[in-house]
Copies of this chain bind each other. A is one copy, B any other.
Amino acid sequence: MSRKKNFFAGPSVLPVEVLKEMEREIANYNDEGLSIVESSHRSEPFNTMYSETLALLGEVMEIPEGYSYFFLGGGGSLQFAMLPLNFLNPAKGATYINSGSWATKALQEAQVIGPVATYWDGKDTSYTTLPAVNTIKPSPESSYLYLCSNETIGGVQWKEWPECGIPLVADMSSDILSRSIPIEKFSLIFAGAQKNMGPAGATLVIIKDEFLEHQNSSIPSILDYRSHQKSNGLYNTPPVFSIWGVKLVLEWVKRNGGTAGMAQRAQLKSSLLYDAIDQSGGYYRSPVDRDYRSTMNIVFRLPSEELEAKFLAATKEAGMVGLKGHRSVGGLRASLYNALPVEDVEALANLMREFQRVNG
């Protein structure tokens, strides 16, 4: 089969080996005479698959003792609400760093629950940069400090983590598994699976057990992290297929050097495009502050919207999909998630040079 070169921002590309394994196993899992998606979440085939997934995740992400982790349904957007419902103390408020579209969504959901202080807002720079970590000093009373590790729409990415004396919470939906994370610096991390980790439908939550002790009471059980922690993520029927997909992706990540290998790949792939941009003499422009350029989502512009449309048509012609920039920022965006082959990025970089040669 001729594979598309898949630059979608999410749901996005999966490793071809993972798809092949799904193809082999989807109708008859492990020769059990049924599909994994036909197995009760209280059955042996599911339980084995599930515990292997969690063990692998703990290993690949090096999750330390004192943390619980599990997969929930409802997407990262549900976490935007669950987080403040559980942890925003109305007397103390919470602090959000507004780095762009996704942080804004999280912040707006929190505002429905209680008082929110925006510590820093990238609005004046159209969300093209981030604050230096050592300048971040939220109120020591604040319930937590929230950040989004990588903004898929703006293309900015945190490179270091603030140490600010209050619980640190991060949405890592769009760069999870793309680098090593010092989990111990965080009280809660969540990440939708559908970019770097697997098929849409599962959201990973990693939570410091100690943090759970500060949890608000009187919220519905399904929205209460304690219910999920106590039942090891099986409080209700889990998104079975997505979790299985995460397992297959984790095996692939492990075979390919773990998070260190993924970081290397991400560095290599993003450099291919940033170099093409930087060496174009201004023909291609990245609006993002060099210090915070995302390795996952490369946002760039051409000299005119007409040329952008023409460029987009050329990528389509070349079997590439997903390169149209988000409507809120325009231009082009290449999402280079873990599973995207290096050759696909090389093809795009070559196309950029060739397009400039002809249309420059």
Contact = CB atoms under 8 A, between A and B. Distances in A.
A353 to B, nearest CB: 24
Nearest to A3: B33
Interface stretch (A13-21, A62-70, A131-139, A297-305): A13-21
B14 A113 contact: no
Nearest to A34: B4
A241 B12 CA distance: 13
Given A72-B74, A201-B73, A237 B38 contact: no
Interface in A209-242: 218-223, 235-242
6 contacts: A8-B38, A12-B38, A75-B222, A81-B222, A108-B221, A201-B240
B8 A40 contact: yes
A117 interface: no
A241 B199 contact: yes
Interface string A26-45: 11100111110111110100
A319 interface: yes
Given A74-B74, A218-B112, A14 B43 contact: no
A200 B37 contact: yes
A113 to B, nearest CB: 7
Nearest to A239: B201
Interface string A310-336: 000000000101100000000000000
For the complex of A and B, list the 7 residue pairs with the smallest distance between their C-beta atoms, beginning with the closest: A74-B74, A81-B220, A201-B239, A77-B236, A4-B33, A8-B40, A19-B27
Contacts of A22: 26-27, 35
Contacts of A74: 72-74, 78, 222
A240 B14 CA distance: 14
A105 to B, nearest CB: 8
A59 to B, nearest CB: 25
B19 A35 contact: yes
A201 B80 contact: no
Given A22-B26, A74-B73, A321 B239 contact: no
Nearest to A235: B77
B113 A220 contact: yes
Contacts of A77: 221-222, 235-237
B3 A220 contact: no
Interface string A273-289: 00000000000000000
A11 interface: yes
B11 A37 contact: yes
Contacts of A32: 4
Contacts of A41: 11, 200
A192 interface: yes
A205 to B, nearest CB: 13
Given A40-B12, A245-B37, A219 B26 contact: no
